[in-house]
Chain A
Amino acid sequence: MIRGAAAIFTRDFKKFLSNPFVIMMTLLMPIMYLVIFGNAMGGTITHIPVAVVQEEPYVGDTPLFVSAVRSLENQAQTDYPRTFDITIYSDEEKAKRDLSNGLIKGVVVFPSVVSRDHAVRLYVDSSDYVTPTMVESGVQTAVMQSGAVNPIEINKIYGDIKYIQFFGVGVIVMAIFMTTMFGGGIALIKDRELGIVEGYLVTPVKRSSIIVGMIGSGTVRAFFAGFVIFIVDILFTGIIIQNPEDFLLILLVLFITSLGVTSLMVSIASRFTNQQEYSSVAAFLSLILFMTSGAFYPTIGMPDWLRWITVINPEWYAVDALRSIILRGQGMEVIGMDLIALLIFSGTAIVLGISTFRRTLE
């Protein structure tokens, strides 16, 4: 009995050690969880952009305004930079426009008089899950420190948004990524392993037809997965799509993302002949990209080095675009930048996917 057990033990261990790459990746995973999860979820949020406006008719900066702004500017947690980046606007409408375009996270409108009848009006971007409460408590502190008795009137510009609605948008993107990386990628590697792809090469079918067909089917599959989760989102989280244009815009974002992620998968899967190695890389990628996509938690809380990843993370742009449309009802003018970023990503991924896959055909 001992001999058999020892034999199995040795065999398993030899197999385990035979692939150092997989060992490295499996050890790297928990470390990445620690570093990224730890920093992304628990980070201290600083530099929240907030606008302050003096209510019309403007006669001059009131003492309340001056002292509250100073108080807001000086608020900070111990050992951290200041919490808010205050910008003074002279036009309330412009401030609100910037708020709805996502440039700032809150607008504080100070009344000209200190009294119980004149409220300090606060507008917050409620599609952001974390900052509204921080802005709120910041303003409360500032008003109190100024010795004012004005009540504070809070306006959530997108209404109450539950966490599940905030998170649900991220899950749509996650669905696209998972379907492609694990479903499509592994199937592709298996097809190559079994010689099925090589079987195509002895037929008159064009190399380009093989690639177009493959990326096409992967894109549709990923799109379908994203769409299903989107519908589930509508049914379970209570998000409401305001009009048909928004709906079409969502489909567009889903499609471009699916195309890009599929092409990326093709280029990565073409580099691996071993399923296990590919899986560990795919798991690693989906972790790091999902964590830094802002799907769980606003990226504003992340340390700077981690935020750099979000800049090159296609998932971040996809989540941001979908959130703009679904939660804020915004259109092309806001998601334009996201779309451009997604198109650049998809374009690069397609070129990369075609060239690396082509190499496997030579």
Chain B
Amino acid sequence: MRTPTHGPNGLPASDPGGKNSMTTTSPALDETESIIRIYNVTKTFESKTKTVTAVNDVSFTVNRGEIFGLLGPNGAGKSTLIRILTTLLQPTSGTAFLDSYEITKYPENVRSIIGVCPQNSTLDVELTAYDNLAFYGKLVNVPEATLDKRIWELLKMTELADRAYMPVGTFSGGMRRKLEIVRAFIHHPLILFLDEPTIGLDPEARREVWQQISTLNREKTTIILTTHYMDEAEKLCNRIAFVDKGRLIALDTLENLKLRLPAGDLIEIGFENMDERAVSAIRSNPLVNSAEIQGNQIVISARNGSKVLPALISSFEEFSIPMNSISIHSPSLEDVFIYLTGSKLDEGSGGESKPVTRGRPP
């Protein structure tokens, strides 16, 4: 199941990512080794009336073992990109490597190292939870000898063991989703693709699914997650790629993405009497962009607010100014997205969005 050492080495002559660590076995480097490398992938769909570019010259790498978020509005090209990476679609140009396999040359090998949980449920609702897992296990070549043990392991992990022999049709939306996610994980894939894993779920069920995803990630599986929920990405993802209108707009950790906002964090500190010296001390802090007194509080705009805060507080203490209240308002991922794209995440990216077809509501 794991990469054979003598497998086809599909690395291109140039390695734009500069992270070619295929030859090294150093554990320190393994942490940062990239498992997915995407080079200039473009996908256009031709129809009689117009040509739609769903994915436009996208390149990036995903590190081994991380939870990687692919964010963007409906129709941004997330699903198309996932379909290309999971060998369902051929890219119009460009290519990508999953582990050491080139997606267009070795699709069979790629399929054996990935697990996919599509946006629309593909569970057989007439079959029991056990049967659903057993069926999928056979499709992905889980050895017969270990299949039964593995199924129970997964059922216990999802706390569905007591419902193993009940038809999936009787399950709640959250239970189905969890079952479907672990189903994609039955063969210990190196990479797990989750396409909008919590769409249409209630908050409680979403939390359970998030829990599930974190648990799976602990087993050293790289997880690629597409979503258009900001909180989901904030909660789960190590690194996030913003996609809009087929283009990659930004890729970084959540913290770094927030740093891109020129305003940074807003810190509001309430007081009774202000000392001008304290204000100038605060303004002299290199991380502080601006500090304005508004009535009985000072509003400070600073990069990386939580790091600045101790210094600010000591300035207050230095001049013996009692504080009434402190609040930090961090910009949300949504603020970052709006800043970078000029459009809201839920709005979709114009007329190119395809109609969303969903399965029956849970």
**Interface residues in chain A, defined as those with a beta carbon under 8 Å from any beta carbon in chain B:** 194-196, 198-205
Contact = CB atoms under 8 A, between A and B. Distances in A.
Interface residues of B, number: 18
B114 A199 contact: no
B124 A196 contact: yes
B124 A199 contact: no
Dominant secondary structure of chain B at its interface with chain A: loop
A203 B111 CA distance: 5
Contacts, number: 36
Interface string B230-261: 00000000000000000000000000000000
A246 B340 CA distance: 78
Given A194-B359, A198-B88, A203 B120 contact: no
Interface in B69-124: 86-88, 108, 111-112, 114, 116, 118, 120-122, 124
Given A202-B111, A203-B139, A194 B87 contact: no
Given A194-B359, A204-B112, A199 B140 contact: no
A198 B139 contact: no
A198 B118 contact: yes
A195 B140 contact: no
B136 interface: yes
Interface string B179-212: 0000000000000000000000000000000000
Given A194-B122, A204-B108, A204-B111, A199 B141 contact: no
Contacts of B114: 202
A42 B321 CA distance: 108
Given A201-B88, A204-B141, A195 B116 contact: no
A199 B118 contact: yes
Interface in B219-239: none
B139 A205 contact: yes
A200 B88 contact: no
Given A200-B139, A202-B86, A203-B139, A194 B120 contact: yes
Nearest to A205: B139
A201 to B, nearest CB: 6
28 contacts: A194-B120, A194-B122, A194-B359, A195-B118, A195-B122, A196-B122, A196-B124, A198-B88, A198-B118, A198-B122, A199-B118, A200-B139, A201-B87, A201-B88, A202-B86, A202-B87, A202-B88, A202-B114, A202-B116, A203-B111, A203-B140, A204-B108, A204-B111, A204-B139, A204-B140, A204-B141, A205-B139, A205-B140
A301 to B, nearest CB: 45
A205 B121 CA distance: 19
Nearest to B124: A196
A205 B140 CA distance: 7
B186 to A, nearest CB: 10
B167 to A, nearest CB: 16
B136 A203 contact: yes
B161 to A, nearest CB: 24
A209 to B, nearest CB: 9
A211 to B, nearest CB: 14
Nearest to A203: B139
A194 B136 CA distance: 16
A205 B136 CA distance: 10
A26 to B, nearest CB: 25
Interface in B114-163: 114, 116, 118, 120-122, 124, 136, 139-141
Given A194-B359, A205-B139, A199 B112 contact: no
A195 B120 contact: yes
B135 to A, nearest CB: 10
B103 to A, nearest CB: 12
Contacts of B122: 194-196, 198-199
A335 B116 CA distance: 51
A322 B122 CA distance: 41
B118 to A, nearest CB: 6
A201 B118 CA distance: 12
A201 B90 CA distance: 13
A153 B136 CA distance: 69
A199 to B, nearest CB: 4
Contacts of B139: 200, 203-205
A283 B124 CA distance: 27
